Chain A
Amino acid sequence: MIASRQRLRRTVALALPLSLALPLAACGSSGSGGSSSSSNGSAGGSSSSTSAAAAGGATSSSAAAKPTGAITVYNAQHESLGKEWIDGFTKATGVKVNVRNGSDTEMANQIVAEGKASPADVFLTENSPSMTIVENKGLFAKVDANTLADVPQQYRPSTGMWTGIAARSTVFAYDKSKLKPNQLPASIMDLAKPEWKGRWGASPSGADFQAIVSAMLQLKGKDATLAWLRAMKTNAKPFKGNSTVMKAVNSGQIDGGVIYHYYYFGDQAKTGENSKNVGLHYFGKQDPGAFVSVSGGGVLKSSKNPTAAQAFLNYVVSKQGQEVLQNGTSFEYPVGSQVPANSKLKPLSQLGAPAVDPAKLNSPEVVTLMQDAGLL
């Protein structure tokens, strides 16, 4: 009697440890707590009346199929800007957009690693070198002709595999209380001089800065660039992110920093507390430091919904999409559909930017040089 009861207990007890393993098995089916961020919020665009035709490209002569379904955008542009475009596109077409946010080079290389199996339909960047990385692997589909027609030639590669969607200018953000206009560097190359030791900053790990260096590489050659980077290792304080560089200039940690123009205007439009002591110095005169970087957009060859993907890219460079840049909070330069820049910005035509071929900007080479210089 007693013995049999014990045997029963023993059987039950044996089964119990197995139940410990159950949570392991159960996790596969549950736990996708992820919220798909399809857009239904208020679009930040200025337009009030939108129609599917506007988004599909009313100018297109070909009777393009109406975009439907869903697409996934790999967005390396600023999250807020990407969201404005996505919300506007969804509002106009009803196409659901899943967005994955990241930064330029990391996402470009991720798409390369994913190859043909990439979940991405569209890739948006802040700087063109990352578009080149993907293009060189032959992963982009040709951009629709009517989309390319909206963008002037200098803001897109001749191959037509991607297009410019916005632009930003390099600036030297400086502390107005410390530097008089005559003490500003005449060229970005001057920052390598010993008198700048410990006085300037940048975000060397960011694709933004690396794009500026890639322009320098194209304009000045490898030796001069490497020498400049080595001087930077000695002279500059590294920060993570352009906003942080500007904040450091503002709080007096450094006299100046190499960043892009729109950080300043974005902060001024908000509270201005991170830029109240900051002035912007445009190098101009075709200096490498006057480099204008083109943000890119492209459609992946492996896209399972090319119609909607092309329609999205078309929307971004359309008048409506570019007006988001003109009127929104990004303060980046529009490049398409003849939309003028926000009136607060120095016009693109007056920046004196050097002539740089975006398709030849070599970011992997830049990373190698920066490793050589000990910056990465």
Chain B
Amino acid sequence: MTTLLAVVVALAALIPLAYVLQSAYDAGWSTAEQLIFRPRIGELFANTAKLIGLAVPLSVLLGVGAALVVERTDLPGRSLLALLFAAPLAVPAFVASYAWATVWPSIGGLSGAVLISVAAYFPFVYIPVMATLRRLDPAVEESARALGLGPAAVLWRVVLPQLRLPILGGALLVAMHLLAEYGAFASIRFDTFTTAIYDQFQSTFASAAASMMAGVLVLCCLLLLIGEAGVRGRQRYARLGPGVARRGRPARLGWWSLPVWVGVLVVLATTLGVPGWSITRWLISGGNAVWTSDLVSTLLTTTVYGVIAGVVTVAAALPIAWLAVRHPGRWVRALEGSTFVAASIPGIVVGLAFVSYAIRYAQPLYQTAPLLVAAYAVLFLPRAVVTLRAGIAQAPPSLEEAARSLGASAPAAFVRVALRLIAPTVGASIALSFLGIAGELTATLLLAPTGTRTLATEFWALSGEIDYAGAAPYALLLVVLSLPMTYLLFRQSRKVAGL
């Protein structure tokens, strides 16, 4: 049953890939060759590679550092900090980009792109790492200390290895987002495959050239996936033995807390200060005129889509995540990988695939809400799978086995034991999906029913005409709408998995 559901979902997730391959096939080899082996593609590849090579390690460094600060030190105010580090998730990358362009008009190129991406995406590493740190059994570290390791060695040899899953999952998510990000880079003159695909789309709608670029992008994604799988390994991460993990003892910073605080403030100013300041600035300069009646309907639309599509996404992700943790194997890996492939395909291509196939084979679905929800589910499946996977990995199978031995059937054991254990994670992944959906731009532009406007599309339309003041209320609402979800995600991830 689980397997069947997982296969159905994976197949749906592969629709965009099928579209890309079909376009390539239709174009024929000589056209494909012309479109792929040209200097422009090399340029884009170099840009994309540099971006990932810089932004992913920096995000990991920042995410793990932030998690260690809030979970493993006695820094005053760390419980508030813990929340503030997650808050950038509520600022969509293209809003961050708009904010940075406000304070630094000539921002652009690789450095600008790296700055904005790290600021926008490091919480993808921070949140799962922080959640895992909270649940680690200090007994393991204490044993290491007792065996003569110093604190730095414990961190390196005991703590970090246990963080491997959340770090890799988070890094992979960041990389995938970088591959597929459009809005943030379009406004700062940095070209990646995705921005180039969007250019092609604007010039031709659904063209072979765009599909070829998407094909190259999928290959990049596969490389990343294979890389991640290779590094991930197959260790077990759940606790063994009786009892429950205690909370670890925080490290005393002493006079170190000053430099740490300085670093923390720099990060907060970069990730939250700049967007906050810029949006405020535009709101003030816009005055009352920018608060139009359209805001309310747009907010409502965005919320409804976010909730419905968020639930659908997580329901679709659950079987795959379950199999990935409990029945790992080569072909489950392939299933899981297929969901990721869709994420590396930018929203614009997912949009084009759904539009083209709907026009051709499912006319009644064309420009309808269900089709948009389906596209959202495909786009945000990986987020949900990664989050769920980490949660399921923390639920020891032995508890279900115990339930089984006491007479519960497999489904009953799943619902009454495992589902309870992973409930917080389910909530968290709905929240995470919601965040992505609320800020999704390109697929929404293509697939939304005529007349449907979301905060993201309105913001984009206005900021594209450099009506920054008019766009500010939409940016503000996007952030405000995302904040409770970010908080929910944060709280759920901090909860020790249990009852």
- Chain A residues within 8 Å of B, Cβ to Cβ: 6, 9-10, 12-14, 16-17, 20-21, 23-24, 27-28, 30-38, 41, 72, 78-80, 98-103, 105-110, 112-115, 117, 119, 204-207, 210, 237-241, 243-244, 246-248, 251-253, 267, 270-271, 274, 363-364, 367, 370-371, 374-376
Contact B186 A72 (CB under 8 A): no
Docked complex Cα distance between A237 and B466 (Å): 19
Contact A33 B39 (CB under 8 A): no
User: What's the least CB distance linking B372 to chain A, in Å?
Assistant: 8
Task: Scan B278-314; emit 1 where CB is below 8 A from any A CB, else 0.
Answer: 0000000100000001000110111111001101100
Kindly list the 8 A-B residue pairs having the minimum CB-CB distance in the complex, ordered from nearest: A109-B205, A34-B452, A13-B412, A33-B304, A205-B199, A243-B466, A32-B369, A36-B451
Contact of A20 among B300, B318, B355 (CB under 8 A): B318
User: What's the least CB distance linking A171 to chain B, in Å?
Assistant: 17
User: What's the least CB distance linking A207 to chain B, in Å?
Assistant: 7
Q: Chain A interface: which of B20-28, B60-68, B442-450?
A: B442-450
Docked complex Cα distance between A14 and B301 (Å): 36
Interface: B200 (CB within 8 A): yes
Interface: B389 (CB within 8 A): no
User: What's the least CB distance linking B106 to chain A, in Å?
Assistant: 5
Contact A271 B202 (CB under 8 A): no
Contact B416 A31 (CB under 8 A): no
Within 8 A of A (CB), among B412-469: 412, 414-416, 445, 448-453, 461, 464-467, 469
| In the complex, residue of chain B having the shortest beta-carbon distance to the beta carbon of A237 | B189
| In the complex, residue of chain A having the shortest beta-carbon distance to the beta carbon of B106 | A253
- Give chain A residues whose Cβ lies under 8 Å from the Cβ of B363: 117
- Give chain B residues whose Cβ lies under 8 Å from the Cβ of A17: 1, 411, 414-415
- Give chain A residues whose Cβ lies under 8 Å from the Cβ of B312: 23-24, 27
Contact A205 B408 (CB under 8 A): no
Q: With A23-B312, A31-B304, A240-B186 known to touch, is A106 a contact of B202 (CB < 8 Å)? A: yes
Contact B369 A247 (CB under 8 A): no
Contact B448 A34 (CB under 8 A): yes
Interface: B356 (CB within 8 A): yes
Interface: B397 (CB within 8 A): no
Contact of A13 among B187, B308, B368, B411 (CB under 8 A): B411
User: What's the least CB distance linking B193 to chain A, in Å?
Assistant: 13
Interface: B203 (CB within 8 A): yes
- Give chain B residues whose Cβ lies under 8 Å from the Cβ of A364: 204
Contact B305 A105 (CB under 8 A): no
Docked complex Cα distance between A70 and B199 (Å): 33
Interface: B316 (CB within 8 A): yes
User: What's the least CB distance linking B473 to chain A, in Å?
Assistant: 16
Q: With A23-B312, A33-B369, A376-B40 known to touch, is A102 a contact of B408 (CB < 8 Å)? A: no
| In the complex, residue of chain B having the shortest beta-carbon distance to the beta carbon of A12 | B412
| In the complex, residue of chain B having the shortest beta-carbon distance to the beta carbon of A40 | B293
Docked complex Cα distance between A222 and B318 (Å): 56
Docked complex Cα distance between A120 and B467 (Å): 28
- Give chain A residues whose Cβ lies under 8 Å from the Cβ of B398: none
**27 intermolecular pairs with C-beta atoms under 8 Å apart:** A14-B411, A16-B412, A17-B414, A24-B312, A24-B315, A32-B452, A33-B303, A34-B448, A35-B452, A72-B450, A79-B465, A100-B451, A106-B205, A109-B206, A112-B205, A119-B366, A204-B199, A205-B203, A207-B202, A207-B203, A241-B466, A243-B466, A247-B105, A364-B204, A367-B203, A371-B38, A374-B39
User: What's the least CB distance linking A31 to chain B, in Å?
Assistant: 4
- Give chain A residues whose Cβ lies under 8 Å from the Cβ of B355: 110, 113
Contact of A119 among B367, B461, B466 (CB under 8 A): B367
Docked complex Cα distance between A10 and B407 (Å): 9
Q: With A113-B206, A376-B199 known to touch, is A34 a contact of B187 (CB < 8 Å)? A: no
Interface: B5 (CB within 8 A): yes
Interface: B142 (CB within 8 A): no
- Give chain B residues whose Cβ lies under 8 Å from the Cβ of A14: 409, 411-412
Contact A31 B415 (CB under 8 A): no
Residue tally, chain B, CB below 8 Å to A: 74
- Chain B residues within 8 Å of A, Cβ to Cβ: 1, 5, 35, 38-40, 43, 105-106, 186-187, 189, 191, 195-196, 198-207, 209, 285, 293, 297-298, 300-305, 308-309, 311-312, 315-316, 318, 355-356, 359, 363, 366-370, 373, 407-409, 411-412, 414-416, 445, 448-453, 461, 464-467, 469
User: What's the least CB distance linking A163 to chain B, in Å?
Assistant: 23
Contact of B5 among A21, A98, A253 (CB under 8 A): A21
A-B contact sample (18 more), CB < 8 A, given A30-B308, A34-B301, A243-B464: A14-B412, A23-B315, A27-B309, A32-B449, A33-B302, A35-B298, A98-B450, A100-B450, A106-B204, A107-B205, A108-B205, A110-B205, A210-B203, A237-B189, A244-B187, A367-B204, A371-B35, A374-B40
User: What's the least CB distance linking B396 to chain A, in Å?
Assistant: 20
Docked complex Cα distance between A246 and B464 (Å): 12
User: What's the least CB distance linking B321 to chain A, in Å?
Assistant: 13
Contact A113 B209 (CB under 8 A): no
- Give chain B residues whose Cβ lies under 8 Å from the Cβ of A109: 204-207
Docked complex Cα distance between A6 and B403 (Å): 12
Q: With A205-B203, A241-B464 known to touch, is A35 a contact of B359 (CB < 8 Å)? A: no
Contact A20 B203 (CB under 8 A): no
Docked complex Cα distance between A102 and B464 (Å): 12
Docked complex Cα distance between A110 and B205 (Å): 6
Contact B409 A117 (CB under 8 A): no
User: What's the least CB distance linking B154 to chain A, in Å?
Assistant: 41
Contact of A251 among B106, B448, B465, B469 (CB under 8 A): B106
| In the complex, residue of chain A having the shortest beta-carbon distance to the beta carbon of B419 | A16
Contact A9 B40 (CB under 8 A): no
- Give chain A residues whose Cβ lies under 8 Å from the Cβ of B105: 247, 251, 253
Contact of A371 among B40, B205, B407 (CB under 8 A): B40
Contact B359 A106 (CB under 8 A): no
Q: Which of B203, B407, B445 has most chain A Cβ within 10 Å?
A: B203
- Give chain B residues whose Cβ lies under 8 Å from the Cβ of A98: 450-451
Contact of A240 among B39, B187, B304, B448 (CB under 8 A): B187
- Give chain B residues whose Cβ lies under 8 Å from the Cβ of A114: 359, 366
Docked complex Cα distance between A278 and B298 (Å): 35
- Give chain B residues whose Cβ lies under 8 Å from the Cβ of A274: 466
Q: Which of A98, A103, A244, A247 has most chain B Cβ within 10 Å?
A: A244
Docked complex Cα distance between A229 and B39 (Å): 15
Contact A244 B466 (CB under 8 A): yes
- Give chain B residues whose Cβ lies under 8 Å from the Cβ of A100: 450-451
